[in-house]
Structure 1
Amino acid sequence: MQYQLSAQRVDATGSLASSHGAEVRLATDMEGRKDAPNPVELLLAALAACMIKGAERVLPVLKFQLDGMRVSLQADRQDAPPRLAAIRYEITIDTPESAARLDLLHRNILKYGTISNTLAAAVPLSGTIRRAGDDRSS
């Protein structure tokens, strides 16, 4: 499988990426923009989308009841050399499923995620999954 995307500079404050008719505004200026994600935020959005899509992929196989899902991410950037030093996530699931089944979903999300596997090979990736309304993580 191959993916294609093109991006172009629109002006000094931003750029535009497009793929198969969809467009995403990019914050590519030095000051940042309120109406567009910067490159790190785009990377985190790709990881969040990968995790949500991964859950969607395995839900029918696991016969898992998912009523809602949220992924929160944080990345630590180092300056020299400029790179991400760590990425942390928390997946919050609205479900009546047991803790063991929640853990099974978590393992499957990570095992089959193209973006999560790619990033985990390059930067420490750690996180938890928890049930919505639960204070403890697993």
Structure 2
Amino acid sequence: MERLEYKAELEWDGNVGSEVKVRDFSFRIDTSTDGRNAGPNPTEYLLAAIGGCLVVNWGRLIKKMRLNVEDMQITVSGWRDREEPRLKEITYKVRIVTDEPEKKILRIKELAEKYGTVFNTVGPEKIRGEVEIVKKSQQ
């Protein structure tokens, strides 16, 4: 089986943040609470990674199934108690503008969740998603 490898290199900023390098890209991780607020915090990046994973898979499936989709947004949210350092709930909502049948759109949701690397690493039992289909004719 082919092995896919990923790597991120982080350089500490001397406080609580870092500069991250991934391939030819760089970005900051920091916090607004005790850092310099120079970038999103790790939890926000986790939510963005889940959303990015979903967008990549939805996009691939839309192309593969040759569906006519005018627009799509995905919002990923999570919350935790201050006392316990883990997210209690992660939810996402896909808003998609299309006249394609609901059955096809829900099949994309199913497959995007099934084959998403980040989605499955976090655990599908920890993430709950919903889809809002907006018909182009109703806009």
Q: TM-score range by the shorter chain?
A: 0.7 to 0.9
SS of the residue 1:83 aligns to: coil
Q: Give 4+ residue runs of structure 1 displaced > 6 Å after superposition.
A: none
* Counterpart in the other structure of 1:57: 60
* Counterpart in the other structure of 1:88: 91
Question: Matches of 1:103 and 1:60 in 2, distance apart?
Answer: 15
* Counterpart in the other structure of 1:127: 129
In the alignment, structure 2 segments of 5+ residues that lack a partner are none
User: Match of 2:131, as an amino acid?
Assistant: I
- Give the structure-1-normalised TM-score: 0.83
* Counterpart in the other structure of 2:119: 116
SS of the residue 2:69 aligns to: coil
Question: Matches of 2:71 and 2:57 in 1, distance apart?
Answer: 14
The 5-angstrom pairing of residues 98-113 of structure 1 reads 98-113=101-116
SS of the residue 1:131 aligns to: strand
- Equivalent residues of 1:69, 1:94 under 8 A apart: yes
- Percent identity over the alignment? 26
- State the superposition RMSD in angstroms: 2.2
- Give the structure-2-normalised TM-score: 0.83
Question: Matches of 2:13 and 2:74 in 1, distance apart?
Answer: 30
Kindly state the Cα deviation for residue 132 of structure 1 after the two structures are TM-superposed: 3.8
Match of 1:17 among 9, 17, 20: 20
Question: Matches of 2:70 and 2:40 in 1, distance apart?
Answer: 28
Aligned residues: 133
